Structure 1
Amino acid sequence: MSIQLLLAQILLMALGLIAVGTARPDLIVDHGLKLLVGLGLTLFIARLRPTAFLKWATFAWLGTLILLVLVLIIGVGTAESGGTKRWLDFGGPFRFQPSELAKLGLVLQLSSFFSRRGVERKLISATAMILVTTALIILEPDMGTSVLTFGLGIVLMFAAGVRISNIAWFGLGLGLLAIPGLNIYLQRHPYILERWNGHQSRGDTVSVGLDHIGLAHRDLTNGGLWGLGPDGPRYIYFAAHTDMIIATVGFSTGLLGVVMVFFAYWMIVNTALQVSLLAARIRPMTPEIHAASTMATGAMFMIVGQAMVNLAVAAGIFPVTGVPLPLVSYGFSSILTMSLALGIIHSAMREVRSQLPAENDPAALMAVASD
């Protein structure tokens, strides 16, 4: 296992537990138990070899597509989600958001596909996988997650070795094809434009601190360097324990806590890059090593890409999208999926290390780890 990656996970979970306890003390026990389940799941998945993921990749991906279809039929929503249906609720604790699992299913499927078929051919099939997954999420509708899913597909193509020119043509062609349907989609789901227009005209509201983002910014600023702790006097604003939790982290733990959040995500990026660097040293590169490297990159982008979107919303750069902060925000679907993703990175790291030539171990490992 990667100690660096495990430390990043524990750090994010600890800060999330403090923040959820600050914003919603009644949820701290529930959140803590879910974090323990997530950590246990990471440790279990980390012990598996990447070949196990490749064997079941297609079934996992198709299973997530079935769940996404079920969301369109029997899905439920909340008042906060604007009436959209994004969850499957089977009663009690069995309530989750299939779009989170769909991203992970896409990572496994594309990694398996490119390792078996190569990257010079069959790109139409890979493109179809990305579009089908993204389209089902768009229909919920969930614009934020669908954009992340599409971006994830692009990153996976790049990580697998698809030429930049092919990716560029793919993106351009899809953009042109999507233009006619975009107007119809926005008319059917006017809340998207309403959020964007509200975001664009938000300047005067923020100056007097009347909107939720403005209040979150005040909480973040009031935390100072070291924070005011869970019991400090704070503002009440929307989604303080989910979408806007970084403000709660800043309030309770100060600038130090916010910096630690960024540091933890950097450690996740660094670990995934180590997997790719070490995999490049293995000659010949087997399909299993190629898939492990691609999976690690995809799992990393799942986590860090979503984190960047969440932080951009909290900073007021993007309109509200409903995307949680991975491993920090309250919500079992996100905790479960991100813990699985971390386990995959652990597994990929262990597989790549085991396949390194003897002359590259351990001296080369130490050199890469210190970069």
Structure 2
Amino acid sequence: MSAVFEKPPLWRRTLPLLQGFDGPLAFAVFLLACAGLVAMFSSGFDHGTRFVDHGRNMLIAGFVMFVVAQVPPQRLMSLAVPLYVLGVSLLVAVALFGITKKGARRWINLGVVIQPSEILKIATPLMLAWWFQKREGHLRPFDFAVAFALLLLPVGLIMKQPDLGTSLLVGAAGLAVIFFAGLPWRLILPPVALAVVGILLVVLFEPQLCAAGNRWPVLHDYQQQRICTLLDPFKDPLGKGFHIIQGMIAIGSGGLFGKGFMQGTQTHLEFIPERTTDFIFAAFSEEFGLVGNLLLIAGFVFLILRGLAIALEASTLFSRLLAGSVTLIFFTYAFVNMGMVSGILPVVGVPLPFISYGGTAMVTLGLALGILMSVAKARRLVQS
């Protein structure tokens, strides 16, 4: 009789929680996490407990991913409106009585100091996916106008803090949802063409636009300086251009195969600023060279393609839009970080996923991965 009531072993009881997890996606995350630990061990070896803290942040992100993956997409959809309203309300609270550090008001003290803009990285695409799910089957231009309004509200509040990097990430995630929902090309091409023309004009007239005393409208002074520094970092090689120049030197000095693990001179002689956070890609490039960079980029490409495949196979419009936009968050993170370190984009303070040090960003990535796993699990349960 005792055998009848004998409990099954722990591994058998936890097995149902792991069923439906997407193996290829988990494998891509594992490889990128290993690359991140290797890069952090080298670049942060003299930064106290930075390597240990990076590993801890990864474990926390993994736990968040595991928990969120157990939540079905239908439940996630019910959280869209409350999470979005909470996030926007906190952004308004930050604007009114937030904490100011280094000229930016981005934090608020609720017993614990938090940065509400991080919530909007997930809440905004979640809200937009919910909106288009409700309008499925009878989309009109008005519905896209409402979607843009829902997107511009948090983006505008974040830019006002100011926080260009986070506003870029939130805007990119929201635009991905609107694009995947079926935004007509006739509405996409004109602003893209206008942006290209604007970039070309800025490049052509850089000497006049970046002349001393010339003030650009709309942008903050530091944002104008970042763009001018990008166009010609050698105007101030020991000041505002130092980050970009040292990053390019480190990347170029890595050559084909790199200088070897723990052998990066630019890194260990502390010429690379923020070498464990925003500019860790430069440190990685110096030690592992072009081959290492290509392997790292291949890992991100595989992760992104797998995420888009999960989105394509999702069973509902909400799941498809959410999974697609969350996947492009990884693309935006990686593209912007590598671009700014390589000197082709302004420095905006965007970390490299799994590689850069940062607890909040890592938890956000874990949440995004959990959403992808949730969509993948729901699709496999439907198929079974």
TM band (smaller chain): 0.7 to 0.9
* Consecutive unaligned residues in structure 1, runs of 5 or more: 175-181, 280-287, 359-371
- Deviation track 1:269-310 (CA, whole Å, cap 9, x = no partner) reads 21122124324xxxxxxxx61111111101011111121011
Q: 1:199 aligns with which of 224, 230, 254?
A: 230
Matches within 5 A, 1:81-160: 83-88=103-108, 94-118=112-136, 120-121=139-140, 122-160=143-181
Greater shift in the superposed pair: 20-29 or 249-258: 249-258
2:51 counterpart of 1:28:
yes
The alignment covers a number of residue pairs equal to: 333
| Counterparts in 2 of 1:227 and 1:8: CA distance versus 1, 3 Å | farther
2:90 counterpart of 1:67:
yes
Is the contact made by 2:100 and 2:106 (CA closer than 8 Å) also made in structure 1?
yes
Q: 1:247 aligns with which of 282, 286, 308?
A: 282
* Consecutive unaligned residues in structure 2, runs of 5 or more: 1-20, 196-214
Is the contact made by 1:49 and 1:351 (CA closer than 8 Å) also made in structure 2?
yes
1:125, 1:196 → 2: CA distance? Answer: 32
Aligned to 1:220: 251
1:54, 1:264 → 2: CA distance? Answer: 30
| Counterparts in 2 of 1:76 and 1:243: CA distance versus 1, 3 Å | farther
**Cα deviation, residue 264, structure 1:** 1.9
TM-score between both structures, scaled by the size of structure 2 = 0.78
**Cα deviation, residue 109, structure 1:** 0.6
Greater shift in the superposed pair: 219-228 or 15-24: 219-228
2:313 counterpart of 1:278:
yes
One-letter amino acid of the counterpart of residue 229, structure 1: F
Describe the SS at the equivalent of 1:85: strand
1:129, 1:44 → 2: CA distance? Answer: 28
Q: 2:366 aligns with which of 335, 339, 345?
A: 339
- Deviation track 1:223-275 (CA, whole Å, cap 9, x = no partner) reads 45155223653342221111111112223444443223212211222112212
| Counterparts in 2 of 1:67 and 1:290: CA distance versus 1, 3 Å | same
Greater shift in the superposed pair: 218-227 or 8-17: 218-227
2:105, 2:24 → 1: CA distance? Answer: 37
Is the contact made by 1:289 and 1:352 (CA closer than 8 Å) also made in structure 2?
no
Q: 1:18 aligns with which of 14, 38, 49?
A: 38
Describe the SS at the equivalent of 1:324: coil
Aligned residues: percent identity?
28
One-letter amino acid of the counterpart of residue 8, structure 1: A
Question: Runs of 4+ in structure 1 displaced over 4 angstroms?
Answer: 166-174, 203-207
Greater shift in the superposed pair: 123-132 or 310-319: 123-132
Root-mean-square deviation (CA), in Å? Answer: 2.9
Describe the SS at the equivalent of 1:291: helix
Describe the SS at the equivalent of 1:355: helix
1:317, 1:307 → 2: CA distance? Answer: 13
**Cα deviation, residue 149, structure 1:** 2.3
Aligned to 1:233: 265
Q: 1:185 aligns with which of 190, 215, 218?
A: 218
Q: Bigger radius of gyration, 1 or 2?
A: 2
- Deviation track 1:16-35 (CA, whole Å, cap 9, x = no partner) reads 22223323231111121111
TM-score between both structures, scaled by the size of structure 1 = 0.80
- Deviation track 1:119-147 (CA, whole Å, cap 9, x = no partner) reads 61322321210110111111111223223
| Counterparts in 2 of 1:95 and 1:258: CA distance versus 1, 3 Å | farther
